[in-house]
Amino acid sequence: MSVKKLKRETHPDYIFNRKYEPLIYLVPFAIGLLIFTIYPIINVVIMSFKEGYRLSGNYTGWGIGNYQFVLTNKDFLSAIKNTFIYVLTVVPISTVFSIIIANLLNQKVKGMAIFQTAYFLPMVTSSIAVGISWRYMFNKQFGVINWLLGLFGVAPIDWLGATAGQAPWNIVVIIIFGIWNLMPFTIILLLSGLQNIDPLYYTAAKVDGASSTKIFTRITVPLLAPTIFLTMIVNMISAFKVYNEVIPFWSGKAGVLSNNLYTMVYWIKETFYSKLRLGNAAAASIVLFLIILCFTLLQRWIQKHFNY
Amino acid sequence: MKNNDAVKKFFIYLILALGGIIMIFPFYWMISGSFKTAAEYNSFPPVWIPGNWLNFDNFTKAFEQAPLMKYFLNSCIVTFSSVTINGFITILAAFGFSRLKFKGKEAVFALLVAFMMVPFEMQVITNYQTVARLNLIDTLPVLVIPFTSSIFYTYILKGFFDTVPDSLYYSARIDGASNWKYLWRVMVPIARPSLVTIMLLNAIASWNSFMWVQLVINSDRNRTIPLGIFAFVSDAGSDPKLQLAAATIAVLPMIILFLFARKYIVSGVSRGGIKG
Amino acid sequence: MQVKIEHLTKRFGDFTAVEDFNMVFDDGKLVALLGPSGCGKSTILNMLSGILPSTSGKIYFDETDVTNVPPQDRGVGLVFQNYALYPHMSVLENIAFPLEIKKVPKEERNKKAEEMARLVHVDQYLHRKPKELSGGQQQRVAIARALIKQPRLLLLDEPLSNLDARLRLEMREEIRRIQLETGVTTVFVTHDQEEAMSISDKIVLMKNGVLQQEAGPQELYDNPANLFVANFLGNPPINNLNGYIKDGYFVLEDESGKIKINNPNVKEGQQVVMGIRAESVAIKDGDHDFEATVKQRYTMGKEELAFLNIGNQTIRVYLSSDYEFKEGETVFVKLRDKGVFLFDKETGVQI
């Protein structure tokens, strides 16, 4: 018998539940939530329509000026472009690598603890700190990466620097770093997706004489497809907020030329914190939110429609 | 057939090992770099293994040049407070949402889950103003207070509380236990794995937190480790070896945590996804 | 303790789970609340424990009206179908938990818990966790935990349904033993008639929230108040033959046979159902009631179960395997007095 939808007087829980009791448990949570989550969300929407808004709270008037400003601002547009380049390279590439690694890890390998540690460690460590190591690995003269490429006859690449006002390799650096950072999480999600595939499918396919490649392309990938999609979208949502990955390489600046590698969050932080243009930053953060929202809705939709 | 399998196994291990080396290499480079002498560090082609693993010069100098100990301590204080306070509030809230009945509960909870998709970056501007108004800028509490209520962790824990059968609750209540007693004597011990998981995820997030710290902490003595080493690195003229030593100190606690709690962390991440 | 229930009714919205239920459970007796799922038996149990409030009616424990007394103050012990043991506590801690809540000192409550564990025969597992016990042992622990507070009333919700067949037999005898040893008034809910028949002092049979009959197991079997009761009890189920009354005879509906009946309450032309227990049929030459054809036979050791066609209706009967019949053969059937009932077809009430 379902007691879920019953009225107050007929649900057993109410017998044990004094009317004020939920308050005791929820009030501490609600206070923090109201002040630091709900109010800011509402406020940022309002703020984005206040023109000339300053830290003091003064503003000159209402309007869509902030949106006009950010959507025509060269730096913000370039931040959007950079962010999209980052998302659309980092997420697919790390997904492909992760599918391979997750699939190999799922083959009942020995030494799982060692492999897990190697593959998952970047997830728990600060990108600001480990980024320092990467920074020196990318060093033009002494870096191991150029040394390694040199073995194959590649001339030293100026990863972190610029020549003649151009720094094409800067974004590649944060893409590589981003892929490395994102892989652990992606592998974990895919691995748990793989472990949810009923081994009977594999047994059946082997009995039918399917080759390992055939099994991988005809069984594993199709059955894993929903997980792959989902993981990619979750990753995209987090990749759109790229910020920490930019910090270690140029001592906190966005690229060697100081502004060639703006990301959306970086621009928002700069505009609000250094330039104190809160209204502009608010509008920009709403643009970011709307982009993320699209992907979140896509994620919800996939979750609903592709559950085997 | 047997031979074929052996070849296959060999390639599996080969690829996994190569990938694993690439993944772990930056850590190795960081740690080994912090033990290198200047000659070793500056040689090209690179020196792979430092001559003396007991050469702590870089660490000593790093500690001299920057108050790393202070940063480290600040990080410990902030992480510990965040985990305990947030943990306590999350337990209460998850219990409230899972066990207690009140009008509109489902609707409120659904709304909260919808709020989860709002990036923290969107709240950061207002939160900065709020803590400024509360005169909390450049204090340690400001690194804890805004994060006491987490929808994400509450959502995970509530999900676990929901799986505990009603009959346990009724049983305990008929035996005379109060809600409070039931929560701490029955629910929390049963939920320990989930609780450990959210606390670990929270500890990792707290320890590594950067942008918020960068915004609200100004003075050297209140820096946590990520901001501290960021400042240390940005200060012109500091030696890469010392930077690597400092980075090693920042990363080590999390590596140790991971080695000890790998299973909890991995299961937590695969169950709830991670906070963006 | 005596439990008295007066006009107890429970509605969930438009749905009536229990309708005007009146009952007395005598002190120290083991009572089974029996019925198919959704009959309201669990609802009654929950109202007795207090975790469900009643819509109307009264419940008395001895002379005290407990209708509005909260569950924790009623002094009842409740054992859930899934046992509801706390997985992180040892057997000892589980059993002692109600006393822990009452802030009984540790030494005292552990001593008491060990006593209880001995009573239910789990004293060798005191330091194990519930998941290290079999279903039957978990059940014992749950009963011990319910008994440690010395409840005035012990309530068991489907106590045996999570156990496998062998354990079920063992545990039902155990429940009886424990109940007799402690003398606690006990009510248990079950949908299994055999379970109810085998151990209870009294069976309360419910259907759709309405009381059908309350009686001792044998009385219920030998004298069912209506067709539902007759059909619910017994394995194999009682046979139903449809027919009508004519000139003091029960006539089969296809008029292929008739039987003289000595029941003053029947009315001429009344549509009736004759209930015949499988063991109330004998094969007999000469003086017989019906002619039947043997349809199928199944050997069951000392007896065998036969399907007989009487006209266009089929009955199941137990026959001694001494008889040698072939399938398709015609036999003569004589009904015994005991285990044969007449019910009004419309109301189902025994005539």
**Do residue B16 and residue A115 have CB atoms under 8 angstroms apart?**
yes
Q: Is A68 part of a structural domain of the chain?
A: no
Token representation of residue A49 = 């329509």
What is residue A178's predicted lDDT score, i.e. its pLDDT? Answer: 96
b/e sequence A88-120, b meaning 16+ C-beta within 10 Å:
ebbbebbbebbbbbbbbbbeeeeeeeebbbbbb
Which residues form the domain of A269?
74-305
CATH number at residue A193: 1.10.3720.10
Look up the domain containing C209 and give its range: 3-232
For residue C97, the distance in angstroms to the closest alpha carbon of chain B comes to 8
Domain-embedded: residue B31: no
Percentage of chain B modeled with pLDDT above 90? 62
Tell me which residue of A213, A129, A141, A127 sits closest to A174, measured CA to CA.
A127
B95 touches A at CB < 8 Å: yes
Query: How many domains, in total, are found in chain B?
Result: 1
Predicted local confidence at residue A2, as pLDDT: 37
Instruction: Flag whether A41 is in a domain.
Output: no
Query: Is the residue at A14 inside a domain?
Result: no
Range with lowest mean pLDDT among A52-56, A138-142, A154-158: A52-56
Lowest mean pLDDT among A127-131, B138-142, C117-121, C308-312: C308-312
C202 with C305, same domain: the answer is no
Give percent above pLDDT 90 in chain A: 51
Q: Do both C108 and C169 map to the same domain?
A: yes
pLDDT of residue C321: 67
Q: Is residue A54 part of a domain?
A: no
3-state secondary structure of A166: strand
Among C199, C215, C232, the domain-final residue is: C232
Whole-number Å distance between alpha carbons of B225 and B74: 8
Kindly indicate the confidence band of residue C334, based on its pLDDT and cuts at 50, 70 and 90. Answer: confident
Name the residue of chain A whose CA is nearest to B202's CA.
A124
Task: Tell me if C206 sits within 8 A of C34, measured CB to CB.
Answer: yes
Give the tokens for residue B124: 């950061």
- Backbone dihedral angles phi then psi of residue C74, each to the nearest 5 degrees: -90, -15
Which chain B residues are Cβ-neighbours of C71 within 8 angstroms? 170, 173-174
C52: nearest CA partner in chain B: B170
Give the C-alpha separation, B185 to B173, whole Å.
12
pLDDT of residue C96 exceeding 90, the answer is yes
Note which residues in 235-254 of chain B have CB less than 8 A from chain A. 240, 243-244, 246-247, 250-251, 254
Does residue C331 have a pLDDT over 90? no
* C167/C243 same-domain check: no
- Is C125 domain-assigned? yes
- φ, ψ for residue C315, nearest 5 deg: -125, 155
Residue A30 resides in a domain: no
Closest CA to A181 of A123, A105, A97: A123
Mean of per-residue pLDDT scores for chain A: 87
Q: Cα(A209)–Cα(B16) distance, rounded to whole angstroms?
A: 26
Query: In sequence order, what are the residues at sequence separation of 6 or more whose Cβ sits closer than 8 angstroms to the Cβ of residue C227?
Result: C240, C273, C275, C343, C348, C349, C350
Check whether residue C315 and residue C259 sit in a common domain: yes
Q: By C-alpha distance, which of C9, C33, C11, C34 is closest to C20?
A: C9
How far is Cα B142 from Cα A22, in angstroms, rounded to an integer? Answer: 28
Domain annotation covers residue C75: yes
A196 touches chain B (CB under 8 A): no
In a domain, A188, yes or no: yes
CA-wise closest residue to A106 among A189, A12, A209, A211: A189
Task: Characterize A16-53 residue by residue with b for buried, 16 or more Cβ atoms within 10 angstroms of its Cβ, and e for exposed.
Answer: bbeeebbeebbebbbebbebbbbebeebbeebbbbbeb
Distance, CA of A278 to CA of A273 (rounded, Å): 8
Q: From residue A219, how far is each of A187, A197, A215, A225, A226 by CA, in Å?
A: 19, 9, 5, 10, 13
Average per-residue pLDDT for chain C: 89
Would you call C13 and A12 a contact, using CB atoms and an 8 Å cutoff? no
* CB contact at 8 A, C145 and C98: yes
Token pair of B24 as six digits: 């772990």
Residue C185 lies in a domain: yes
Non-local CB neighbours of C270 within 8 Å, separated by 6+ positions:
C244, C245, C344, C345, C351
The C-alpha of C43 sits at a distance from chain A's nearest C-alpha, in angstroms, of 10
Residues B73, B74, B80: CA angle, nearest 5 degrees: 90
Q: Is A111 helix (H, G, I), strand (E, B) or coil?
A: coil
Beta-carbon contacts below 8 Å between A and C? 23
Over range A10-33, report the average pLDDT: 82
Rounded CA separation C54/C19 (Å): 11
pLDDT at B139: 94
pLDDT > 90 in chain C, percent: 54
| Cα(A166)–Cα(A180) distance, integer angstroms | 25
User: Could you say which of C178, C202, C232 is where a domain stops?
Assistant: C232
Kindly list the residues from chain A whose CB atom is less than 8 angstroms away from the CB atom of residue B179: 16-17, 21, 25
- For residues C209 and C243, state if they share a domain: no
pLDDT band at B237, cuts 50/70/90?
low
pLDDT band at A12 (very low <50, low <70, confident <90, very high): low
**Does C208 lie in the same domain as C307?**
no
- Determine, yes or no, domain membership for A29: no
Check whether C309 has a pLDDT greater than 70: yes
3-class secondary structure per residue, chain C:
CCEEEEEEEEEECCEEEEEEEEEEECCCCEEEEECCCCCCHHHHHHHHHCCCCCCEEEEEECCEECCCCCHHHCCEEEECCCCCCCCCCCHHHHHHHHHHHCCCCHHHHHHHHHHHHHHCCCHHHCCCCHHHCCHHHHHHHHHHHHHCCCCCEEEEECCCCCCCHHHHHHHHHHHHHHHHHHCCEEEEEECCHHHHHHHCCEEEEEECCEEEEEECHHHHHHCCCEHHHHHHCCCCCCEEEEEEEECCEEEECCCCCEEECCCCCCCCCCEEEEEECHHHEEECCCCCCEEEEEEEEEEECCEEEEEEEECCEEEEEEEECCCCCCCCCEEEEEECCCCEEEEECCCCEEC
A302-305's contacts with Cβ under 8 Å and 24+ in sequence apart are A302/A226, A302/A229, A302/A230, A302/A233, A303/A230
Evaluate if residue B274 carries a pLDDT over 50: no
User: Which positions 2-31 of C are in contact with A (Cβ < 8 Å)?
Assistant: 12-13, 17
B127 sits in which H/E element: helix B120-133
Q: Which of C202, C161, C153, C221 is nearest to C182 (CA)?
A: C153
Q: Please indicate whether, in this complex, the C-beta atoms of C49 and B174 are within 8 angstroms of each other.
A: yes
We report the CATH number of the domain holding residue C289 as 2.40.50.140
Same domain, C142 and C214: yes
Phi/psi of residue B4, each to 5°?
-55, -45
Q: Is residue B75 part of a domain?
A: yes
- Pair C174, C89 in one domain: yes
Structure tokens at C41: 């038996």
A residues 248..307 contacting B (CB < 8 A): 248, 251-252, 265, 268-269, 272-273, 278, 281-282, 285-286, 288-289, 292-293, 296
Q: Are C83 and C107 within one domain?
A: yes
C283 — pLDDT class (breaks 50, 70, 90): confident
Which residue among C175, C209, C232 closes a domain?
Answer: C232
A43 near B126, Cβ under 8 Å?
yes
- Of the CA atoms within 13 Å of residue B40, those in its CB half-sphere come to 17
Q: Say whether C46 and A6 touch across the interface (CB within 8 A).
A: no
Over 70: is that where the pLDDT of A26 sits? yes
Q: Write the CA distances from A63 to A73, A131, A288, B125, integer angstroms.
A: 17, 41, 19, 19
- Domain-located, residue B118: yes
User: Does the structure show a pLDDT above 80 at A133?
Assistant: yes
Domain extent for B173: 59-272
Asked whether residue A120 is domain-assigned, the answer is: yes
AA letter at B107: A
> Pick from A71, A301, A98: which is nearest to A182 by CA?
A98
Identity at A152, one-letter amino acid code: F
> What number is the ipTM of this complex?
0.90
CB C98 within 8 A of CB C148: yes
The string of pLDDT tens digits covering residues A195-237 is 888 888 888 888 887 787 888 888 888 888 888 888 888 899 8
For chain C, what is the domain count? 2
Which residues in C lie closer than 8 A to residue A15 (C-beta atoms)? 50-53, 70-71
Chain C residues whose CB is inside 8 A of the B170 CB are: 51, 71, 78, 80, 84
Chain A neighbors of B215, CB-CB under 8 A: 269, 273
Give the CATH number, domain containing residue B246. Answer: 1.10.3720.10
**CATH number, residue C48:** 3.40.50.300
Residue A4 has pLDDT above 50, yes or no: no
B174 with C78: Cβ contact below 8 A: yes
Give yes or no: residues C52 and C71 share one domain. Answer: yes
Closest residue to C80, CB basis, from B167, B176, B185: B167
Q: What is the pLDDT of residue A159?
A: 92
Q: Do A128 and B149 touch (CB under 8 A)?
A: no
Q: Is C351 a member of any domain?
A: no
Q: Write out chain C residues lying below 8 Å of B185, CB-based.
A: 100
- Segment C174-185 mean pLDDT: 93
Helix (H) or strand (E) holding A173: helix A170-195
Strands, E assignment, chain B: none
pLDDT at residue B138 tops 80: yes
Total domain count for chain A?
Answer: 1
C49 touches chain A (CB under 8 A): no
- Give the closest residue to A253 by CA, choosing from A182, A133, A162, A142: A162
Residue A162 region, left (φ>0) first, then alpha (ψ -120 to 50), else beta? beta
Q: For residue range B186-215, what is the model confidence (pLDDT) as tens digits? A: 999 999 988 998 999 999 999 999 999 999
Question: pLDDT at residue A7 above 50?
Answer: no
Residue C350 domain-assigned (yes or no): no
Within a domain: C349:
no
> B212 and B54 in contact (C-beta within 8 Å)?
no
> Is there a single domain that holds both residue C131 and residue C277?
no
Smallest CA–CA distance from B9 into chain A, residue: A109
Q: Is residue B22 part of a domain?
A: no
Q: Which residues of C have a CB under 8 Å from any CB of B?
A: 49-51, 71-72, 76-78, 80-82, 84, 86-89, 97-98, 100-102, 145, 149
CB of B256 closer than 8 Å to CB of B103: no
> For residue A176, which phi and psi values (nearest 5 degrees)?
-60, -45
Do C207 and C277 lie in a common domain? no
Residue C101 falls inside a structural domain: yes
Burial of B10 (0-12, 13-18, 19+ CB in 10 A): exposed
Q: Confidence band (pLDDT; 50, 70, 90) for A9?
A: low
Task: At A94, list the tokens.
Answer: 């790390």
CA distance B204 to A128: 13
Letter for the amino acid at A36? F
| Alpha-carbon span A219 to A202, nearest angstrom | 8
pTM of the predicted model, to two decimals? 0.87
And the tokens for B228?
A: 């501290």
Contact C174, C187 (CB under 8 A): no
Binding-face residues of A in 198-217 toward B, CB within 8 A: 212
CA A280, CA A272: separation in Å to the nearest integer?
Answer: 8
